[in-house]
Amino acid sequence: MRKITHQTPQKQDNVVVTTSHNASKEAVEMAKNLSQEFKIPYYNRRHVSERIKSGELDFYYVVDNTLQLSIHTDKGRLFFHPGISKIRMENYKREKKDFILEALRPTSEDVVYDATFGLGMDAVFIAHFVKEVVGTEFSEHIYRVVSYGLKTYVSKEDWINEAIKKIVLYNEDMKEFIRKQPDKIFDIVYCDPMFENPVYESSALNPLRPLASYDTIDTQTIQEMIRIAKKRVVLKTLDKDRILERLDIKFDRVIVSKKNGLVFACIDLD
């Protein structure tokens, strides 16, 4: 499956909206509405399977009978689900420690910019501790599924419902978004680009990979992030990736998780 890269113009995807098998009337109606909103065709589910087999479709959106929206790719099903944030909160409560919190040092008054929103697994957790999270996601497909999820998802956990309400998400390239922002507009800027040497066991992100943007972070982008941040810029990477070596930036703290090799490189401005 094709990767959406940033440098080349995006080709028009062969993609449709459909429902799950034995769809309810509501699911069909929702799928038809979304097909108009996304400006991509609606197909009856019966006709999708043949077209997938013949390679005519790259991937497809599905509205199921619970009205959840997902994208089916050959790498799995992409949908919004803040389950990982829930596990993370339980770990944090038990261990009184979390690498993102250690890196971001958030307060309840902070407005955080999450430049690479993805599935929002980090953002939902962060949002619990701050006033607002503003996110950008470059991939229109990931954006559609995640913003639909943010609007419709109802958790049994109150803190997740409250956290979701604090999130604003835009379908934009972070570099263009940042350029438009005034100096020091956000308290904290957080950036978690796609890893150079991905950990494939991390299955939560696997369905996202074929749809994601693989933009590289350069020194100028980090300098722009510093310009729009009041307190902190945090870049997440992997210890086996070489991104920090390539950047001409002095990081004040570099936090490394020995367990999974995650690195949080922090520039403290306060």
Ligand X SMILES: C[S@@+](CC[C@H](N)C(=O)[O-])C[C@H]1O[C@@H](n2cnc3c(N)ncnc32)[C@H](O)[C@@H]1O
Interacting residue ranges for ligand X, rule: CB under 6 A: 116, 118-122, 136-139, 142, 173-175, 192-194, 208, 212-213, 215
Q: Is 25 helix (H, G, I), strand (E, B) or coil?
A: helix
Residue 106 or 193 with smaller CB distance to ligand X: 193
Tell the smallest beta-carbon distance from residue 156 to ligand X (Å). 21
Q: How far is the CB of 218 from ligand X (least distance, A)?
A: 11
CB of 115 to ligand X, least distance (A): 6
User: Judging by DSSP bridges, how do beta strands 59-63 and 167-170 pair with one another?
Assistant: unpaired
Q: With respect to ligand X, which residue has the nearer C-beta, 70 or 139?
A: 139
Cα–Cα dist 224/232, whole Å: 12
Residue 49 corresponds to which tokens in the numbers above? 């399977």
- Closer CB to ligand X, 35 or 116, in the complex: 116
d(C-alpha 174, C-alpha 38), whole Å: 22
Give whichever of 63 and 207 is closer to ligand X, judged by the CB atom: 207
Residues 150, 165: Cα–Cα separation, whole Å: 8
CA-CA distance, 12 to 5, in Å (whole number)?
13
Closest approach of ligand X to the CB of residue 84, in Å:
8
Strand partners, 233: 189, 267
| Alpha carbon 210 to chain centroid, angstroms | 13
| Nearest distance, CB of residue 12 and ligand X, angstroms | 18
Q: In sequence order, which ranges of 64-139 are alpha helices (DSSP H)? A: 83-95, 99-104, 121-129
Do the beta carbons of residue 61 and residue 211 sit within 8 Å?
no
To ligand X, the closest distance from the beta carbon of 61 in angstroms equals 17
Contact (Cβ atoms closer than 8 angstroms) between residue 37 and residue 13:
no
> Between 3 and 47, whose beta carbon lies closer to ligand X?
3
Residues 6+ apart with CB under 8 A from 96: none
Q: Which is nearer to ligand X, 58 or 137 (CB)?
A: 137
